Amino acid sequence: MTNKDKPALTTERERFYEKIDKEHLAPLWTVLSDLVTPEPSSACVPHLWQYGPLKRYLLESGGLITAKEAERRVLVLENPGLRGTSKITTSLYAGLQLVLPGEIAPAHRHTQSALRFVMDGANGHTTVDGEKTIMNFGDFVITPPMAWHDHGNQSEEPMVWLDGLDIPMVSLYDASFAETFDQDAQPLSKGTGDSSARFGANMLPVDFNATGLASPIFNYPYARSRESLDVMRRQEEWDPCHGLKLRYINPVDGGFAMPTIGTYLQLLPKGFSTAPYRSTDATIFVVTEGRGLTIIDGQKFDWGPKDIFVVPSWKWVTHVVSDDAVLFSFSDRAAQQKLGYWREDRQHN
């Protein structure tokens, strides 16, 4: 059924299609091969955004609108194959957010879950369901579905982070709810560090019962994840496709930190070239350290610190590393695995 040509369009058939069209009916056989493809076929294309221009435009936007007026002052990273849809991949949204010193991005909540990956600045903060956490470079911070969240910056420097949300997935299901809080900053009900003390020490409160699918830890500090990679590398055991790659987990069940989005941090040493790899989860990579180039479907993308690039579903990818590199990445793999769709393919022995 999959590779067949479409049935020919005859005058008789065309007349029939026009007739049934008025009744909101359509013939499957004219569209079937586009609906059920033998392998992933995506409008999403490979792309790289260099951080330099991104940051300049973001700071320029800081002179045009406040975080409060914008609600969120964000430049959306739109995939060139998906312009006008606010999507970086078919299933994910990404944008770069700026919070200037003294600003507050006001409290709200929504069905969509969000991740933050801190790109620039130090000592910014976000409050999630009554607990404030300080954000520094490389920290991975989550906002679970329907959790109240507001952001602030009491430092002297602009804070910039990458937001990743499952907006297209929630839209697909027409399941979006959102509310604003009646104050800019929500009141604090827990001390800073409470969730990492309870859940981030390889222990759980006895009799703990999870209430949702998101991790109860909401800040995964870069220093800790980075140190794990550094200690692991002494073993010199490299995965041919991934180098050293760690997945951020929900400590309650070892699952993904977020219900729909899988998040990872990997180390690729200088001189390493990864074996060709492809998977069904289109992936957004953030270069946290190092330099190299990535070949996606034969197309070359040179990268350096803080650049952001996208690998679409089922495209072969190879990384060639010129300086010790650390890559943060995220994709819809958490959702795909829960639904039983996810597949991968490797070219090595």
User: For residues 279 and 314, what is the distance between their CA atoms, to the nearest angstrom?
Assistant: 5
Query: Which is nearer to ligand 1HN, 119 or 295 (by Cβ)?
Result: 119
Q: Mention every residue, 6+ apart, whose C-beta is less than 8 A from residue 113.
A: 142, 143, 144, 145, 165, 166, 214, 258, 259, 260, 261
Classify strands 262-268 and 277-279 as parallel, antiparallel or unpaired: unpaired
CB 54 within 8 A of CB 98: no
Q: Which residues contact 57 (CB under 8 A, 6 or more apart)?
A: 75
Provide, rounded to whole angstroms, the least separation between the CB of residue 197 and ligand 1HN: 25
> CB of 204: closest distance to ligand 1HN in angstroms?
27
The span from the CA of 294 to the CA of 319, in Å, is 4
Query: 163 or 281, CB closer to ligand 1HN?
Result: 163
Residue 135 or 241: which CB sits closer to ligand 1HN? 135
Q: Which is nearer to ligand 1HN, 114 or 135 (CB)?
A: 114
For the CB of residue 131, give the shortest distance to ligand 1HN in the complex, in Å.
15
Residues of this chain that interact with ligand 1HN (CB under 6 A) are: 72, 74, 95, 97, 105, 114, 149, 151, 163, 165, 167
SS3 label, residue 85: coil
Angle at 272 between CA 268 and CA 278, to 5 degrees: 75
Smallest distance, Å, CB 106 to ligand 1HN? 9
Closest to ligand 1HN by CB, 92 or 114: 114
The nearest distance, CB 150 to ligand 1HN, in angstroms, is 8
